[in-house]
Amino acid sequence: MGQKVNPYGFRLGIIRDTRSKWFAQGRDYRDQLVEDLTARKTILERHHHAGISDILIERAAGTTTVTIESAKPGIIIGRGGSDVDRLRRDLDKIMSGRVRVNVEETKNPETNAQLIAEEIASQIERRASIRRAMGQAIERAVRAGVDGIRVAVSGRLMGAEIARTERVGPVGSVPLHTLRADVYRGFSEAQTGYGHIGVQVFVCNGEILPPPPSPPAGQVMDAADEAEVEAEVEAVEGADVQAPEEQPEEQPEETPEAEIVADIAAAAMGADAAEGAAAEQAVEIDALLAADVEESEAVSASTEAPAEESSEAPAEDAAGAVDETDSAEEDAGDADAQEE
């Protein structure tokens, strides 16, 4: 229960290529297979601390090319290339034919499943906390941009009497059943005083989509034909995007009857317009007359009040003048009486 198929073998021939490229038959196949296994084991044992992520072997024309992908290529090459020359001489004794050794640097070691497993195993050998080691490895991988990761550690963890398995994740998406998913598996063992502890890591780096299908045989187009087709497609798309131009409407031919109808309609429209203008003019005149009436009423109201005041004042002045004349006549009569 719970056994997993290796993602490399599951996707081999779909999105994965073989790690050994050569062809042999009969006894040669068996001998070359044993040579490859022995060469891989020798390289891993001699440079186990160099962060080797993959070993590729290719045979062609009597020459065997061994490509080593490592996170620390300087350790394999050595000072002045001495270590890699020694390794090549040892591989010459193991493998048939002339051997060439290429050392390449692994791209993005933080996202490589094999290197992550080896890092966790090395921390377990140094008696570090297992949960902390797994958590730090997952954090670095997520920060490096992986789509998903899951880690499992199994064995006598921290020297326990009973072996158990600790799992962390999956963090993100790790679709093991999706063949186009770029899933890698890494495995390493930590050799401790209380036994071996296995570390297994699954890393998903997104999806690898197949290339677009090529046209069938006999229908391969030249570059000129492809350019012509692309130009036609662009022209059609541009015509679809542009708004269609408005076409002028065709005017019907004029006839005497149509002219008479047009004249009657124009006259009716003119009469309606004249009636509307007369009505508007009458409304304006009514508004002006109302405004004049309001102004005259306001002026008459303002002039009546001073007139009443002025009429009262002359009456009082006349009464005072009569009293003065009466008193003057009395004084004159008194003066005549005294003279007599």
Q: How does DSSP assign 115-173, residue by residue?
A: HHHHHHHHHHHTT--HHHHHHHHHHHHHHHT-SEEEEEEEESGGG-SS-EEEEEEEEE-
70: alpha, beta or left? (left if phi > 0; alpha if psi -120 to 50): beta
Q: What is the pLDDT of residue 289?
A: 77
Q: Measure the CA angle with vertex 335, ends 330 and 340; round to 5°.
A: 125
For domain 111-207, the CATH superfamily is: Ribosomal protein S3, C-terminal domain (3.30.1140.32)
Q: Which residues contact 97 (CB under 8 A, 6 or more apart)?
A: 59, 62, 63, 64
Q: Which among 46, 146, 154, 149 is positioned nearest to 101, based on CA atoms?
A: 46
* Domain ranges (residues) in the chain: 7-104, 111-207, 280-340
Adjacency order of strands within the sheet including 164-172: 164-172, 148-155, 195-207, 181-192
**205-230 pLDDT, tens digit each:** 999 887 777 766 656 555 666 777 77
Instruction: Please give the Cα distance from 264 to 254 (Å, whole number).
Output: 15
pTM higher than 0.85, yes or no? no
* Same CATH fold assignment for domains 7-104 and 111-207: no
Lookup: tokens for 157: 């963890």
Q: Which CATH architecture has domain 7-104?
A: 2-Layer Sandwich (3.30)
Pairing between β-strand 164-172 and β-strand 148-155 as defined by DSSP bridges: antiparallel
**278-289 pLDDT, tens digit each:** 777 777 777 777
**108-140 pLDDT, tens digit each:** 899 999 999 999 999 999 999 999 999 999 999
